[in-house]
Amino acid sequence: QKTIGILTSGGDAPGMNAAARAVVRAALKKGMRVIGIQRGYNGLIHGEMVEMNMRSVSDIIHRGGTMLYTARCVEFREWEGVLKAKKTCEETGIDGIVVIGGDGSFRGAADLSKAGVPCVGLPGTIDNDIACTEYTIGYDTAMNTAMEMVDKIRDTSQSHDRCSVVEVMGRRAGYIALNTGIACGATCILVPELEMKMEDVIAKIKEAQSLGKQNFIVLVAEGVGGSNEIAKQIEEATGIESRATVLGHVQRGGNPTVRDRVEASRMGYYAVELLEKGIGNRVVGLQKGEVVDFDIQEALSMKKEFPMDLYKIANEISF
Ligand code: ADP
């Protein structure tokens, strides 16, 4: 009987539970044994795990966070840690693992695959910053949360004729900022992929102001940062009262959206099919809406293009 493990690693994201549920159920249905490994690679090194059955993943598809817990594990970055994890797998009879996480977690999955335990990665991060896939689990929920928050800020911003500078998550990627910005009618969107000068931001606000606009939303990605300073500069240059709000971890939580639940279920199922065939060292992703898989090293070396066409549209219709 084949035994597979499942773990979530790195930053959590809504939809990780839906993915774990799909993996557990698909594997059990195929007659495999499934072990839930807690707190990422830590659980693998220190033997924190539970045997999963059909009911172990009941009542979680609609919940944010991860019932398997997640963690960062320094020990696992060393080869010695990887070998310890491999030993746990041998002792427990785990002969394949599904790792739900980001690029860092995939590097770990590649190492463990090299050590002889086939691993399949599932992209789980709200930032959508994984190159091999056009979509990551958690991304849709995070954008919808950010959108709802900005809508609320907009109400008060509108009542006071203010400019609201809102910082959303995305340290290396501006996808949340770009999409939320479009969805909320932001006048300016600042992302780490593109350099934008403060004078251009101010010029854009002034131009919109000259067209009769009285309240403004400026969306800033975490990777650009400095939203308080940006608000201050806007106020100084335009005389418009400006306030900054950093949305922070609220974007990481909440019940996953339909899209996150469905894509997590599809990708989770696919990961089990790979492990069933004994295929490891792969990352699952979505390309043109289809579920596909890549060699982990190849996936990690890929680059994602910033959607300039979308950015252009955002800029041209936000006055
Ligand atoms: P994410 O998976 O969200 O990118 P991290 O970068 O924090 O998050 O990675 C999660 C975990 O994956 C780390 O705590 C570590 O255990 C493992 N990991 C990260 N980078 C490597 C690496 N280069 N080699 C081996 N394991 C790694």
Model ipTM?
0.96
Using CA positions, which residue lies closest to atom 8 of ligand 1?
A: 10
Reported as a pLDDT band with limits 50, 70 and 90, residue 91 is: very high
User: Tell me, what's the pLDDT at 122?
Assistant: 98
Reported as a pLDDT band with limits 50, 70 and 90, residue 106 is: very high
E strand or H helix at 107 = helix 103-114
Ligand 1: residues with CB < 6 A are: 9-11, 41, 72-73, 76-77, 101-105, 107-108, 111, 125
E strand or H helix at 22 = helix 16-29
**Residue 33, annotated ligand binder?**
no
Mean pLDDT of the chain, nearest integer:
97
User: Tell me, what's the pLDDT at 112?
Assistant: 98
Q: What's the gap in Å between 77 CA and the centre of ligand 1?
A: 7
**Residue 229, annotated ligand binder?**
no
User: Tell me, what's the pLDDT at 168?
Assistant: 98
Cβ burial of 301 (10 Å; 0-12, 13-18, 19+) is exposed
Handedness of CA 36, 75, 80, 114 (dihedral sign): positive
Q: Which residues are catalytic?
A: 127
Are the CB atoms for 222 and 188 separated by under 8 Å?
no
Residue listed under structure tokens 């992929």 = 193
User: Tell me, what's the pLDDT at 241?
Assistant: 97
Which atom of ligand 1 is least distant from the CA of 41?
Answer: 16
Using CA positions, which residue lies closest to atom 12 of ligand 1?
A: 105
Alpha helices in 160-307 (DSSP H): 175-183, 198-210, 227-238, 258-276, 296-301
pLDDT per position as a tens digit, 151-203: 999 999 999 999 999 999 999 999 999 999 999 999 999 999 999 999 999 99
pLDDT per position as a tens digit, 195-254: 999 999 999 999 999 999 999 999 999 999 999 999 999 999 999 999 999 999 999 999
Q: What's the gap in Å between 105 CA and the centre of ligand 1?
A: 4
Are the CB atoms for 5 and 37 separated by under 8 Å?
yes
**Residue 261, annotated ligand binder?**
no
d(CA 215, CA 7): 45
